[in-house]
Structure 1
Amino acid sequence: MNTYFLIAGSLCFLLGFVHSILGEYLIFKSKRRKGQIVPTIGNTDLKGRHLRILWATWHLASFFGWCIGAFLVEIALVQEQWNAEVVSFTVYATAITMFVSSLLVFVATKAKHPGWIVLLLIGILVIVGN
């Protein structure tokens, strides 16, 4: 078992979970009509249809993180059973994705959003685990 990949995959799940929960609470809660799942209360700068796609995209990011986490956990548990080239490609693609995502969040938030640290840590764990 590859402990580095297992920890990185678990962090992907945790980050996605925290991302969705906090986003719902801090960003979208006040933009939703009572009884609705999808927020639709926009304003002059952000129309309802734009808000709906932002909401969907917000949760897509979490879902994609969970999918990457699932790959990493699977590789961690049964790496020997996978084709080495497929594992190598998946590992490097994941590491690059995490490093670029970390940089994007770092720059966009002027390092004020802690998500960049978790993304960077996942990328490092994936590289070290390989």
Structure 2
Amino acid sequence: MTFLLYISACLLLLVSFAHSYLGERYILIRLFKRDNLPKLFGNDDFTKRTLRFAWHLTSVTWVGFAAILLALAEPNLNKAKVLYIIAVTFAIHFIVALVGSKAKHLSWMLFAVVSILSAVAANS
């Protein structure tokens, strides 16, 4: 079973990096050249930033799942370690959403709370 978890984690890492790189290069860049994106807050900057950070957060999530799979591969499951992985994953979500949207997309608040609560739960 451990070997299967390692393979799964490696596949998630591979697809994560491919998703971010190829999506940026072949989808997002081309999409952002269009002139018919929704204009929120006066222009299409918010739309572009939201699409970009949401796209890359998918990849961050897959890296977090890969880390959880690696934790599950350990002989003695450490729940605190899994909670820390979740806390770090959502801390990255928080930073990406905050910076990526210039704090306009309010998801950063939720991600920060999830990160903090997961870290506190790990210490309980």
Aligned to 2:61: 64
Name the CA distance, whole Å, in 2 between partners of 1:50 and 1:15: 25
Contact 2:37/2:47 (<8 A) preserved:
no
SS of equivalent residue, structure 2 residue 21: helix
Structure 2 residue 76 is the aligned partner of structure 1 residue 81: yes
Structure 2 residue 2 is the aligned partner of structure 1 residue 11: no
Contact 1:42/1:48 (<8 A) preserved:
no
Contact 2:28/2:52 (<8 A) preserved:
yes
1:1-130 superposed matches below 5 A: 2-30=2-30, 43-46=35-38, 47-76=44-73, 78=74, 80-82=75-77
SS of equivalent residue, structure 1 residue 81: coil
Q: Deviations over 1:67-112 (max 9, x none)?
A: 0001102222x1x2116xx6xxxxxxxxxxxxxxxxxxxxxxxxxx
Name the CA distance, whole Å, in 2 between partners of 1:25 and 1:70: 26
Structure 2: state its 5+ residue gaps. 39-43, 80-124
Structure 1: state its 5+ residue gaps. 32-38, 87-130
Give every structure 1 segment of 4 or more consecutive aligned residues whose post-TM-superposition deviation is greater than 6 Å: none
- TM-score, normalised via structure 1 length: 0.50
Residue 42 of structure 1 and its aligned partner are, at CA, apart by 5.6
How many residues matched?
77
Residue 5 of structure 1 and its aligned partner are, at CA, apart by 0.7
